[in-house]
Amino acid sequence: MCAFPSKKKIIDGPYDLSEKRLKGLVELLEGYGRPFMLTPLKTASKLGLLRRIVLICLKNTRGMVYLQKHTASAPLYADLWDVSVIGSVFAGESPEDAAERELFQQLGIKGARLRAMGTLPYTDSRGVSLSATFFLAGPSPARPQFDECRSADGMFVDQQELEGLALHQQEMLTPELIWAVQAGWIFRKTGGPFLAG
Protein backbone atom coordinates (compact mmCIF):
# COMPACT_ATOMS: atom_id res chain seq x y z
CA MET A 1 0.00 0.00 0.00
CA CYS A 2 1.32 3.39 -1.02
CA ALA A 3 1.40 6.19 1.55
CA PHE A 4 0.46 9.66 0.35
CA PRO A 5 2.52 12.60 1.56
CA SER A 6 0.75 14.71 4.16
CA LYS A 7 -0.94 17.76 2.69
CA LYS A 8 -0.29 21.26 3.96
CA LYS A 9 -3.30 22.53 5.90
CA ILE A 10 -4.74 25.69 4.36
CA ILE A 11 -5.63 28.42 6.84
CA ASP A 12 -9.24 29.57 6.93
CA GLY A 13 -8.97 32.66 4.78
CA PRO A 14 -9.64 33.78 1.22
CA TYR A 15 -6.04 33.39 0.05
CA ASP A 16 -3.21 31.05 0.94
CA LEU A 17 -0.64 33.85 0.81
CA SER A 18 1.13 35.80 3.50
CA GLU A 19 0.00 39.38 4.19
CA LYS A 20 3.34 40.55 2.79
CA ARG A 21 2.66 38.81 -0.56
CA LEU A 22 -0.92 40.11 -0.67
CA LYS A 23 0.24 43.74 -0.37
CA GLY A 24 -0.24 45.58 -3.63
CA LEU A 25 -2.34 42.82 -5.21
CA VAL A 26 -5.89 43.46 -6.39
CA GLU A 27 -8.67 41.07 -7.26
CA LEU A 28 -9.69 40.93 -10.90
CA LEU A 29 -13.42 40.51 -11.33
CA GLU A 30 -15.38 38.44 -13.81
CA GLY A 31 -18.49 39.72 -15.57
CA TYR A 32 -20.74 39.20 -12.54
CA GLY A 33 -18.40 41.11 -10.22
CA ARG A 34 -16.93 38.06 -8.49
CA PRO A 35 -13.15 37.83 -7.93
CA PHE A 36 -11.38 35.21 -10.01
CA MET A 37 -7.68 36.14 -10.00
CA LEU A 38 -5.05 38.22 -8.19
CA THR A 39 -2.65 40.56 -9.95
CA PRO A 40 -0.44 43.55 -9.09
CA LEU A 41 -2.30 46.88 -9.18
CA LYS A 42 0.00 48.24 -11.91
CA THR A 43 -0.78 45.27 -14.18
CA ALA A 44 -4.53 45.60 -13.67
CA SER A 45 -4.39 49.36 -14.37
CA LYS A 46 -2.16 49.00 -17.42
CA LEU A 47 -4.33 46.31 -19.02
CA GLY A 48 -7.65 47.93 -18.04
CA LEU A 49 -8.85 44.80 -16.26
CA LEU A 50 -11.99 44.95 -14.11
CA ARG A 51 -11.19 45.62 -10.45
CA ARG A 52 -12.71 47.29 -7.38
CA ILE A 53 -12.18 50.87 -6.25
CA VAL A 54 -13.74 53.16 -3.65
CA LEU A 55 -14.91 56.75 -4.09
CA ILE A 56 -15.41 58.68 -0.86
CA CYS A 57 -16.96 62.07 -0.13
CA LEU A 58 -16.07 63.42 3.31
CA LYS A 59 -18.51 65.77 5.00
CA ASN A 60 -17.67 68.09 7.88
CA THR A 61 -19.92 68.88 10.85
CA ARG A 62 -21.47 71.80 8.89
CA GLY A 63 -22.67 69.44 6.13
CA MET A 64 -20.12 70.63 3.58
CA VAL A 65 -18.27 68.15 1.37
CA TYR A 66 -14.50 68.13 0.86
CA LEU A 67 -13.20 68.16 -2.73
CA GLN A 68 -9.64 67.62 -3.91
CA LYS A 69 -8.09 69.09 -7.04
CA HIS A 70 -5.82 66.87 -9.13
CA THR A 71 -2.34 68.18 -9.84
CA ALA A 72 -1.42 69.53 -13.28
CA SER A 73 0.78 66.46 -13.83
CA ALA A 74 -1.86 63.89 -12.82
CA PRO A 75 -2.17 61.10 -15.40
CA LEU A 76 -5.96 61.33 -15.28
CA TYR A 77 -8.15 64.42 -14.83
CA ALA A 78 -5.27 66.90 -14.47
CA ASP A 79 -6.35 70.17 -12.76
CA LEU A 80 -9.94 68.93 -12.17
CA TRP A 81 -11.84 68.87 -8.87
CA ASP A 82 -12.81 65.40 -7.66
CA VAL A 83 -14.38 63.53 -4.75
CA SER A 84 -12.49 63.59 -1.44
CA VAL A 85 -10.69 60.27 -1.91
CA ILE A 86 -10.31 57.60 -4.58
CA GLY A 87 -8.49 54.36 -3.86
CA SER A 88 -8.09 50.71 -4.79
CA VAL A 89 -9.54 47.77 -2.92
CA PHE A 90 -6.71 45.31 -2.32
CA ALA A 91 -6.90 41.53 -2.18
CA GLY A 92 -8.76 40.19 0.85
CA GLU A 93 -10.02 43.67 1.75
CA SER A 94 -13.66 44.75 1.89
CA PRO A 95 -14.67 48.05 0.24
CA GLU A 96 -15.40 49.42 3.76
CA ASP A 97 -11.90 48.51 4.97
CA ALA A 98 -10.41 50.06 1.84
CA ALA A 99 -12.41 53.26 2.39
CA GLU A 100 -11.19 53.53 6.01
CA ARG A 101 -7.58 52.89 4.96
CA GLU A 102 -7.67 55.37 2.08
CA LEU A 103 -9.30 58.11 4.19
CA PHE A 104 -6.51 57.78 6.72
CA GLN A 105 -3.66 57.44 4.19
CA GLN A 106 -4.78 60.30 1.96
CA LEU A 107 -6.40 62.75 4.38
CA GLY A 108 -5.36 61.68 7.89
CA ILE A 109 -9.03 61.08 8.82
CA LYS A 110 -9.65 58.22 11.25
CA GLY A 111 -12.86 56.83 12.70
CA ALA A 112 -15.29 58.66 10.41
CA ARG A 113 -18.67 56.97 9.99
CA LEU A 114 -18.98 55.42 6.52
CA ARG A 115 -22.20 54.90 4.62
CA ALA A 116 -22.13 52.94 1.33
CA MET A 117 -24.41 54.61 -1.20
CA GLY A 118 -24.02 52.00 -3.93
CA THR A 119 -21.71 50.12 -6.27
CA LEU A 120 -21.66 50.57 -10.01
CA PRO A 121 -19.48 49.20 -12.81
CA TYR A 122 -18.12 51.80 -15.21
CA THR A 123 -15.26 52.50 -17.61
CA ASP A 124 -13.08 55.55 -16.97
CA SER A 125 -11.76 57.91 -19.65
CA ARG A 126 -8.70 55.69 -20.20
CA GLY A 127 -10.83 52.62 -20.90
CA VAL A 128 -10.11 51.00 -17.53
CA SER A 129 -12.98 48.85 -16.23
CA LEU A 130 -13.86 49.48 -12.59
CA SER A 131 -16.42 48.45 -10.02
CA ALA A 132 -16.76 51.55 -7.85
CA THR A 133 -18.33 51.62 -4.40
CA PHE A 134 -19.32 55.15 -3.42
CA PHE A 135 -19.20 56.12 0.28
CA LEU A 136 -20.25 59.16 2.28
CA ALA A 137 -17.96 59.69 5.28
CA GLY A 138 -18.66 61.79 8.33
CA PRO A 139 -19.71 64.16 9.62
CA SER A 140 -16.15 64.60 10.82
CA PRO A 141 -14.77 67.49 12.89
CA ALA A 142 -11.20 66.68 11.77
CA ARG A 143 -9.52 68.88 9.17
CA PRO A 144 -8.27 66.92 6.13
CA GLN A 145 -4.52 66.97 5.52
CA PHE A 146 -4.02 66.45 1.82
CA ASP A 147 -0.81 65.20 0.25
CA GLU A 148 0.69 67.87 -2.02
CA CYS A 149 2.17 65.14 -4.23
CA ARG A 150 -1.34 63.81 -4.97
CA SER A 151 -3.44 66.98 -4.85
CA ALA A 152 -3.00 70.57 -5.89
CA ASP A 153 -5.66 71.92 -3.54
CA GLY A 154 -8.62 71.03 -1.34
CA MET A 155 -11.79 72.85 -0.29
CA PHE A 156 -15.13 72.36 1.43
CA VAL A 157 -18.25 73.30 -0.53
CA ASP A 158 -21.93 73.30 0.39
CA GLN A 159 -24.78 71.84 -1.65
CA GLN A 160 -25.55 74.99 -3.63
CA GLU A 161 -21.90 75.56 -4.50
CA LEU A 162 -21.39 71.96 -5.64
CA GLU A 163 -24.60 71.85 -7.66
CA GLY A 164 -23.72 75.21 -9.23
CA LEU A 165 -20.33 73.86 -10.31
CA ALA A 166 -21.91 70.68 -11.68
CA LEU A 167 -24.48 72.71 -13.64
CA HIS A 168 -22.46 75.67 -14.89
CA GLN A 169 -18.80 74.65 -14.78
CA GLN A 170 -18.64 70.95 -15.57
CA GLU A 171 -15.27 71.45 -17.26
CA MET A 172 -13.80 71.96 -13.75
CA LEU A 173 -15.06 68.63 -12.35
CA THR A 174 -14.32 64.96 -12.98
CA PRO A 175 -17.09 62.88 -14.61
CA GLU A 176 -17.33 60.77 -11.42
CA LEU A 177 -18.01 63.85 -9.28
CA ILE A 178 -20.62 65.18 -11.73
CA TRP A 179 -22.31 61.79 -11.80
CA ALA A 180 -22.40 61.54 -7.98
CA VAL A 181 -23.97 65.03 -7.77
CA GLN A 182 -26.58 64.21 -10.42
CA ALA A 183 -27.40 60.88 -8.73
CA GLY A 184 -28.07 62.68 -5.43
CA TRP A 185 -25.52 60.54 -3.60
CA ILE A 186 -23.63 63.48 -2.04
CA PHE A 187 -26.59 65.72 -1.21
CA ARG A 188 -30.25 64.72 -1.30
CA LYS A 189 -32.18 65.95 -4.29
CA THR A 190 -34.28 68.99 -3.38
CA GLY A 191 -35.61 69.95 -6.80
CA GLY A 192 -34.68 73.02 -8.79
CA PRO A 193 -33.40 73.40 -12.35
CA PHE A 194 -30.24 71.33 -11.87
CA LEU A 195 -31.74 68.32 -10.16
CA ALA A 196 -34.84 68.26 -12.34
CA GLY A 197 -32.71 67.58 -15.46
Annotated domain spans of the chain: 25-187
Element (H, E) at 106: helix 95-107
Of the options 3.40.1130.10, 3.30.559.10, 3.90.79.10, 3.40.630.30, the CATH number for the domain spanning 25-187: 3.90.79.10
- Supply the pLDDT for residue 190: 65
Q: How far apart are CA 142 and CA 145, in angstroms?
A: 9
Residue 180's nearest CA partner among 77, 108, 81 is: 81
Burial of 189 (0-12, 13-18, 19+ CB in 10 A): middle
Q: Note the pTM of the prediction, 2 decimals.
A: 0.82
Among 17-21, 71-75, 107-111, which stretch is predicted with the lowest mean pLDDT?
17-21
Mean pLDDT estimate for the chain: 85
High-pLDDT (> 90) share of the chain, %: 51
> pLDDT digits over 170-186, tens only?
999 999 999 999 999 99
Q: How confident is the model at residue 12 (pLDDT cuts 50, 70, 90)?
A: very low
